[in-house]
Every structure is written in structure tokens, then in C-alpha cells.
């Protein structure tokens, strides 16, 4: 990874992240391990995680984020990019922001898989809000 950081431009690094997202979405399921690996790669390359989160969002709306019988499903926190070390107050703030974002997207999507996945993300955020409000 160090060698890549020395020779690759920022644009090449983001292309690598896009490739990782294509691999992550190839089976139609985002697992905890895949999402954690994506975050680790992002940090090791010194990329802006907010920018990568935007790319990840575009991928998540296209894939199933629910458990599959053959894979370990990702946690609700990792699906939406919620850092586990946040205080409950900061977590709720993050969840509200993400909810507004996905709710707005939901209304702009045509009925079908992408809209269904956006609704699943909203459902995930609702579960997280209940969890962190306690």
C-alpha cells in the first residue's frame, strides 16, 4: 500500500476505490468485512472518507443490504457509515442527517430495486435511531 501511495495520483486512488466497490457489490450483498476493508483501504491511501462515503452510497442503493444465507451480513452501523465510537448524541445527529439524505433520494428514485434498497437504508436508520435514543 505504501508503494501505491507514493506513485498513484489521487484520481487513481479513487478509481481503485470504485473498483473495490464493484467487487463489494458483485454478489449483491454488503458484508461487514467488506465495508470494514473499504474503510481501511480508504484510510491507508489517505483519501477523504466523506468522498468515499458518497461513492459507497451510490453502490449501496444498487445492492441488497439484507442478510444472505451464504454471507455474514453487515451491521447497521457499518452499512450507513456510523462510527461506533461516537457518543449517542453525535450518533443521533449523524443518523438524522443520513435519514434526510436518503429520504430525499427515495422520492427521486423510480419504483424498483434501487428504491427498495433506499427504503431498506431508511429502515436501517430508523432501527439505529431507536437503538441510540435509549
pLDDT in tens, 42-73: 989 999 888 888 888 888 887 755 444 444 56
- Full-model pTM: 0.69
Separation of alpha carbons 132 and 88, rounded Å: 6
Q: Report the percent of the chain where pLDDT is more than 70.
A: 93
The pLDDT, as a whole number, for residue 67 is 46
Place of cell 483501504: 41
Q: Say how many CA atoms lie within 13 Å of 99 toward its Cβ.
A: 14
pLDDT in tens, 2-35: 788 888 899 999 999 999 999 888 887 777 788 8
Amino acid at each position: 500500500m505504501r508503494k501505491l501511495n507514493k506513485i498513484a495520483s489521487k484520481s487513481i486512488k479513487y478509481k481503485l476505490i470504485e473498483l473495490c466497490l464493484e467487487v463489494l457489490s458483485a454478489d449483491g450483498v454488503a458484508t461487514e468485512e467488506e465495508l470494514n476493508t473499504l474503510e481501511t483501504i480508504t484510510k491507508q491511501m489517505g483519501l477523504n472518507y466523506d468522498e468515499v462515503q458518497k461513492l459507497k452510497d451510490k453502490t449501496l442503493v444498487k445492492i441488497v443490504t439484507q442478510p444472505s444465507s451464504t454471507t455474514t451480513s453487515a451491521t447497521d452501523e457499518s452499512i450507513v457509515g456510523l462510527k461506533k465510537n461516537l457518543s449517542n448524541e453525535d450518533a443521533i445527529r449523524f443518523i438524522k442527517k443520513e435519514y434526510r439524505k436518503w429520504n430525499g433520494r427515495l422520492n427521486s428514485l423510480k419504483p424498483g430495486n434501487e428504491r427498495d434498497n433506499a427504503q431498506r437504508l431508511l429502515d436501517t436508520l430508523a432501527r439505529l435511531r431507536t437503538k441510540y435514543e435509549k
